[in-house]
Structure 1
Amino acid sequence: MSGKNKSAYPFYIIVGSLVCLVALSQLNYSFSYKDFQFRKLDMLSDLRTTSPDDKELTTGKDSSKLSVSDSTGARKPGGSTLPNPDHLHDYMSYTGILEYAPPATVETAAGIQHFLNVLKELHAGTRKKVRIAYFGDSMIEGDLITSDLRDSLQSQFGGAGVGFVPVTSVVASFRTTIQHTFSSDWKDYHYKNSPPASVTLGLSGHTFYPGGNSWVKYSPVKKTHLDKFEEVSVLYGPATAATININDRDYTLTGDQPVNRLDLQQDTGHTSIVLKNGGGAAMPFYGVCFESNKGIYVDNYSFRGISGVELGRLSSAMIHRMQEERPYDLVIMHYGANVLFRPELTDYSWYERPMKKVMDSLRQDLPATSFLIIGTADKSYRKNDRYITAPGVEALLKVQHDLATGYGTAYWNLYAAMGGEGSMVKWVEGDTVLANKDYTHLNRQGAAKVGALLYKAIMNEYRRAEKP
């Protein structure tokens, strides 16, 4: 064969390879190895100002995608995004915070705008305190996630103190942000043990009644922002001249409100706080709060084994009174692990219906408060000798996202922030182990990472809100 023909070989090889690649790209076929899938090739993609996927978002062909934010900055009807300089976001893959405006007929805080505004006031010195109520299940018990979020926020905006701590806790020995011990004779009424109608549950889902010799002791720990007690408040229910002893000093408790507060005026410094039952009629206690005179606080309201629907059992009168005594500027709702009890289930309408009632109540009881719904973390289960993401994860994320759009809250997709599909396997089996072998719960290091990711997402919104 002549040299001329041989010199054309590279050209033939390149053309032949290109033809094969184009042909393969037209296949919409997947096979089981790591869920690999061919994607169609768009030869003109670099020349387009709007990609085919972007066109799908803007034309509304897929209701699970978000439309472009209104460039005028005006709020749009419920289910729409608030002004955002970013362009298009798919809620299943976006790792930042998405914000939604409530329906025009509902007067409630939009997204996390109120929270961002009070953060600016706190930074400017025109506001003394900002508080976050972080509700969740066992994913946050022991102050996991919340401790790292709190530490980062307090380093940025000031404040010292762990916030609310219940009277007793099943994870007190596991928690590292406060030393917490107590006697065994406290009666704990909560979501799961059918409290009598006369008992009003506290915001934590617990209410505690003392026995004859009940006591609880709290001590600071040697950590930044947590090494001393400055302001201490005892939260309790209705009481008539009941007596408690705190650090060998007697206090008389009175109050007919669902939530009452006793502020300790003494200088607590680095000492422990020991609360003892002083006698008289048994009265309800909720917990003790630890703060300084200014700054930001994150209260951990964890409750093992719940799905979030239990919040619907909280009394409106109690919530209103709590908001008067210790107002919250942001409520975070972080659930999902206990909803995904059947990994292959993909219909969560049974969960969405009661959660809508919960959101109806909370938005009505806390109209000026910002809300952030956190989409579930990845959860894996064993199938065909390997661990894969449960099909129910994305189905549940859609329900949680629909709640956010329907009620005008903010939304953060933890699943996406972790890395999306298969991320839990990587967190469990990676060189740095970030989650437990149940392929559901984070370990302490993984929780710290999630806390850092959430802090970053919040600060991105805060800095965006600062721009003119």
Structure 2
Amino acid sequence: MNPLKISLYVIVVLLAMLGLTYLSGKNALADGKFQDGFSWNGSVIKYPTTATFFKDASLSKEQKKSFEGIVQNIETVVEDAVVEIPDFTKIDSTKIQRIAYPEPSAEFINKLLEQLKSPNCRIIHYGDSQLEGDRISAYLRNRLQNMYGGGGPGFIPIKQVYHQVSAVVVPSENWERYATFDPSKPKFKNRNYGAFLSASRFTPVFDSIADSLAVRNTELVKATIEISPSSKQYAKLKNYNSIGLHYGNATAPVSIKVYNSGELIKDEMLKSDGKYHCFNINTDTTPENLKIELESTESPDFYGITLDGSQGISLDNVAMRGSSGTVFASNGESFGSMYQQLQPKIVIFQFGGNAVPYLKDSLAVQNYANYMRNQMDWVRRKSPEASFIFIGPSDMATTVNGEIKSYSLLPLLDSKLKQMCTTNNVAYWSMFHAMGGENSMPFWVDQKLAGSDYTHFTPSGTKIISELFFTALHMDLTNSK
């Protein structure tokens, strides 16, 4: 083969492909968006235009300057995070994304401060996969516990589907996990998943009482849970002496034995009246190796374990992979019963990211904001005195005509969620703007602060976004400018 002919052929093909970019144009789609390419018989064949092909995909000078300022600012904050209170003389507060409050804002902030300073303040942090492994929650918990006292990681599921670093919880192999937001598992017909929206069992779920009676095993089934402090987390998380085992739907006798470093400290029966209960285990100091043995012919639904200090801040991380936050109002009575036991003073919602790819137009955005208002109103009825904070979705990027860009409706969603919250007595923090706003995610990915999916933060990014939220909150609580 002649190398010269091959080279000429490649050049001609490339020039022809370049020539087609001059003929390509923007075509309106049914959903109101535009697509570069050729329109033919009602369809669009995707092809870049000349402007798109030669467009500089890098950030503009203004964006770079803004984002570099944010990173420099947050690096200063994180470097200062080893001390109890940030040194605001080192921070350019004009680059900190502040929290938006309902009016009167001073009244909301004062109530929040009173709740944090109270002898016992439980905070429940609900969110999607951005929270898995106690991400964001752990950093916030540690900061608040250092300021207002408290210890322990709060809620830990018995059967875990993601890596958990806040405590070492090892269940026996016969445990199975169910969740109201998990489409891969059958739903409980009684819809009782408790306040943490998931449950674990060591015997199968039966569809009806008749099925249960027909196949119920008369032999006793044993299950165990071993709990010990984590060696990989903040020191405050290792300080807990108030352990709660939350359960419901116990219809058969269940024996429970609790061992602390091999010594039997409790030998009792769980209440088998079918209602929600909390089995309490109190120790003088953090148990180094706690083992719980359960035995029954049929497992209750166990809604999780709480590991708390005797007073101060407790913060529960409730990560709901794949959830857009619209599952709360479908839960049964155990949710309210558990709220009466837990008495949360602050509830944090962090949702929106899983809805973003499926939003087609502004009406869908408004509908989602309305859904979230209804969900929070439902939860608020279970805890009328609690303060509510909503953390909006991060910037998220997708490929549009070969460019990595923010989802087009994400800025509108952030705006609508803020409006919905501040007009319904909910504080709102825009993670989207804290990152730098539209098209900021590629910058975070370049800095290795977010993953290649252009959605989730890396461990380094998690610390930064957590500290940005905490700093904004702390500045309001201390009236810092």
TM-score (structure 1 length as normaliser): 0.72
- Give the aligned partner of residue 310 of structure 1: 327
One of 161, 177, 185 as aligned partner of 2:166:
177
Unaligned runs of 5+ in 1: 1-29, 39-92, 103-108
Contact map agreement 1:186 1:209 (CA 8 A) in 2: yes
1:359 aligns with 2:376: yes
C-alpha distance in 2, partners of 1:159/1:370?
19
C-alpha distance in 2, partners of 1:178/1:409?
31
* CA displacement, residues 100-125 of structure 1 (integer Å, 9 cap, x when unaligned): 149xxxxxx97454322222xx2xxx
One of 213, 218, 225 as aligned partner of 2:222:
213
C-alpha distance in 2, partners of 1:358/1:279?
36
Q: How far apart are residue 238 of structure 1 and its match?
A: 4.3
Higher helix residue share: 2
Q: How far apart are residue 337 of structure 1 and its match?
A: 1.7
1:428 aligns with 2:440: no
- Give the aligned partner of residue 288 of structure 2: 271
**1:258/1:402 Cα in 2 relative to 1: closer, same or farther (>3 Å)?**
farther
One of 326, 330, 336 as aligned partner of 2:346:
330
Matches within 5 A, 1:295-444: 295-315=312-332, 317-342=333-358, 346=362, 347-430=364-447, 433-444=448-459
C-alpha distance in 1, partners of 2:373/2:176?
32
Q: How far apart are residue 344 of structure 1 and its match?
A: 6.9
Q: How far apart are residue 376 of structure 1 and its match?
A: 1.0
Contact map agreement 1:343 1:391 (CA 8 A) in 2: no
SS of corresponding position for 1:309: coil
* CA displacement, residues 170-222 of structure 1 (integer Å, 9 cap, x when unaligned): 11xx2222112222322333223342323511122112222323222221023
C-alpha distance in 2, partners of 1:250/1:459?
45
TM-score (structure 2 length as normaliser): 0.70
C-alpha distance in 1, partners of 2:61/2:140?
37
- Give the aligned partner of residue 448 of structure 1: 463
SS of corresponding position for 1:397: helix
CA RMSD of aligned residues (A): 2.8
**1:94/1:403 Cα in 2 relative to 1: closer, same or farther (>3 Å)?**
farther
C-alpha distance in 1, partners of 2:399/2:284?
55
Unaligned runs of 5+ in 2: 1-50, 63-94, 204-220
**1:461/1:318 Cα in 2 relative to 1: closer, same or farther (>3 Å)?**
farther
Identity rate of aligned residues, in percent?
A: 26
Q: How far apart are residue 319 of structure 1 and its match?
A: 3.5
1:96 aligns with 2:107: no
* CA displacement, residues 36-59 of structure 1 (integer Å, 9 cap, x when unaligned): 699xxxxxxxxxxxxxxxxxxxxx
* CA displacement, residues 365-420 of structure 1 (integer Å, 9 cap, x when unaligned): 22111000111100011223331221121121123113203311101001111111
C-alpha distance in 2, partners of 1:368/1:199?
25
SS of corresponding position for 1:139: helix
Number of residue pairs the alignment of both structures matches: 366
Q: How far apart are residue 311 of structure 1 and its match?
A: 1.6
Q: Which amino acid aligns with 1:114?
A: K
Q: How far apart are residue 226 of structure 1 and its match?
A: 2.4
Contact map agreement 2:123 2:347 (CA 8 A) in 1: yes
C-alpha distance in 2, partners of 1:339/1:362?
20
- Give the aligned partner of residue 235 of structure 2: 224
1:245 aligns with 2:257: yes
